[in-house]
Amino acid sequence: MATAVFEREIEAFLSHLAAERNLSPHTLEHYGRDCRRFADWCAGQGITALDDIDSYRVRAALAQLHRQGLGGRSLARWLSALRTFFQFAIRHQWLAHNPALGVSAPKSPRKLPKTLDADSASHFVNLPGDDPLALRDRAMLELFYSSGLRLAELVGLDLVHLDLGEARVRVLGKGRKERDLPVGSHAIAALRAWLGVRPTLAASGCPALFVSQRGGRLSARGIQERFHRLSVGQGMASRIHPHMLRHSFASHLLESSGDLRAVQELLGHANLSTTQIYTHLDFQHLAKVYDSAHPRARKKSGRDREPGI
């Protein structure tokens, strides 16, 4: 149900977004819901004029939404919608300043990516079989794990991007930035085996390194479906996604080398802060080792307890 408070202004704002910014109906729905959520809060506080809104009231509404269970990302989106709405109101002289500026949402806890331990990763990529599809899939998995590729980077690989003599592959990453990556010995062996049978599947003139049964470039969706089937076939405890091998590559490399800058370069991260999430994964591993090995970390058994306790 639409609220009567600020409804005229919100409708004018949404019409502006639809006409001037050509936003999708889905995005417009989000803007409308976020603005009306704040308008409903204002109505409950007896606020009926836009120029009565200040940063204190925006923070109070934010705090209430947070108490009601909205997470950091939802609150950040809500604030973004309000800032845009208030800027529109300023242009129409309904407001003198933007009361949402300087108000920030609480940060959501950053979700750590799921990774495989080294033994599980090795088991998963070491596929059995010597038919063309098995050789293709083994080469694909080995390259994913060997070089830490993104899914889109692997899909875009052509034969000319691979240099087995130099043990490297050239990929086109985000922002269309190219980078050269080393290829490990297991991946090289798997790729050589695949290249030996690739002509039996590839259509004439197809430049793609990895092709489907129909002979064309293997799609991202096709690779994801293969991962699902291979997860079951390899007896993995859970479904493995392509990005999980990339995360595992980064985590294992950082755990062994401790060289965050090198891992950043290999992953193609523009900012070091993106790569730093793997330091948290590494700490989790260290914490488990500590808890299981350090004599002052292990929980006392009944016989270890001091007398009288």
Catalytic residues: 150, 174, 243, 246, 269, 278
Token duo for residue 69: 């269970």
Alpha-carbon span 127 to 141, nearest angstrom:
9
Q: How far is CA 11 from CA 7, 44, 47, 89, in A?
A: 6, 20, 18, 12
Q: Please state the φ and ψ torsions of residue 128, each to the nearest 5 degrees.
A: -85, 170
How buried is 16 (Cβ within 10 angstroms: 0-12 exposed, 13-18 middle, 19+ buried)? middle
Element (H, E) at 297: none
Is-contact 40 3, C-beta < 8 A?
yes
Backbone angles phi, psi at 179, to 5 degrees: -150, 145
Rounded Cα distance, 157 and 239, in Å: 25
CA dihedral 124→231→195→152, nearest 10 degrees, is -100
